[in-house]
């Protein structure tokens, strides 16, 4: 074998061995030896044109194999349609994935998730099936999950800290989870939504407080009265809706804009807010 032929053999051997990591080293070497024996006859000093063709075919095969190995999803499907990203999990295992804003989703088997291409500024996902969400907080872009006729809005961890005139400190957690520590204490306390941490020189306790206001098949006018009393905004809706029955749970300290947006969606209305007059009109 002359120098030119040796050089070609050397390059082809390098290409042959650059297959995906899934192939065992000994199998790669064995395959190479078989290919080399057939391609380069030790007694033949002439480099034939088909040698180059074989190298080209081999390179295409290796590149195609690499693409299939590294780009075929395992137990999942991902498609793009109508400006939406669609992720499906047809497998029997939970699929763990991250959305463009780094929020974590664990998609249950036989479930589907759909979200828009501009997700970072439009954090809305449509779910079919079941999923667990660990949402990255972004006050400018609330995270919403639509499932059938329900909408779940995630606002992030929210709590209040209050010091009373008798030097009692109370922390009320509305959403998320926080850890409480007290100076000179080796203990810590983890609060869940609806729990209140109370501390003074005579007391240290975690208590449950009512974190929601429930309206069970009540007139819409009751919700309007609640909003006006607690948020100090006047809310106006078409008169024909005032006696319409509604079932709604409003979280304490919920953003007023979220409540009005939900009402607007339920009754197919548009909200108009006048901050100077502190008035909201749904029409």
Tens-digit pLDDT string for the chain (283 aa): 566 566 656 655 555 555 444 444 454 455 545 545 555 554 444 554 544 444 444 443 333 333 333 333 434 445 555 688 999 999 888 788 999 988 888 888 888 899 998 998 899 988 887 888 777 888 788 888 887 666 566 656 566 767 677 778 887 888 787 777 777 777 878 888 889 988 888 888 999 998 888 999 999 999 999 999 888 899 999 999 999 999 998 987 788 888 999 999 999 999 999 988 989 999 9
* Model pLDDT, residue 50: 45
For residues 210, 127, 82 and 140, what is the CA-based torsion angle, rounded to 10 degrees?
A: 30
For residue 125, give the DSSP letter. E
What pLDDT shows up at residue 7? 65
Q: Where are the domains of the chain?
A: 3-71, 77-154, 159-208, 212-282
CATH of domain 212-282: 3.55.50.30
**Beta strand 111-116 pairing with 104-107:** unpaired
235: β partners: 280
- Angstrom CA distances, 54 to 20, 39, 42, 113, 197, stand at 20, 8, 17, 45, 74
DSSP H or E run through 57 = helix 49-71
Distance, CA of 277 to CA of 232 (rounded, Å) = 11
What pLDDT score was predicted for residue 203? 86
- The pLDDT, as a whole number, for residue 30 is 53
* Sole residue written with tokens 């008798």: 166
CATH of domain 77-154: 2.60.120.1440
């Amino acid at each position: 074998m002359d120098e030119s032929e040796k050089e070609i053999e050397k390059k082809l051997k390098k290409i042959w061995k650059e297959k995906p990591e899934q192939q065992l080293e000994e199998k790669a070497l064995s395959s190479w030896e078989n290919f080399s024996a057939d391609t380069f006859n030790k007694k033949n000093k002439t480099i034939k044109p088909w040698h180059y063709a074989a190298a080209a075919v081999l390179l295409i095969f290796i590149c195609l194999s690499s693409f299939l190995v590294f780009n075929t999803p395992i137990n999942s499907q991902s498609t793009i349609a109508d400006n939406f990203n669609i992720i499906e999990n047809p497998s029997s295992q939970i699929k763990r994935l991250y959305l463009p804003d780094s929020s974590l989703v664990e998609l249950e088997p036989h479930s589907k998730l759909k979200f828009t291409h501009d997700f970072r500024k439009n954090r809305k996902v449509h779910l079919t099936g079941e999923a667990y969400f660990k949402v990255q907080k972004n006050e400018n872009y609330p995270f919403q999950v639509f499932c059938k006729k329900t909408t779940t809005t995630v606002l992030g961890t929210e709590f209040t800290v209050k010091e009373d005139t008798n030097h009692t400190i109370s922390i009320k957690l509305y959403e998320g989870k926080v850890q409480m520590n007290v100076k000179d204490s080796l203990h810590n306390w983890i609060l869940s939504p609806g729990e209140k941490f109370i501390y003074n020189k005579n007391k240290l306790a975690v208590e449950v407080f009512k974190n929601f206001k429930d309206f069970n098949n009540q007139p819409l006018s009751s919700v309007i009265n609640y909003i006006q009393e607690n948020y100090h905004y006047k809310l106006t809706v078409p008169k024909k809706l005032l006696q319409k029955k509604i079932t709604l749970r409003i979280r304490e300290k919920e953003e007023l804009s979220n409540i009005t947006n939900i009402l607007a969606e339920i009754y197919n209305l548009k909200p108009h807010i006048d901050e100077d007059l502190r008035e909201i009109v749904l029409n």
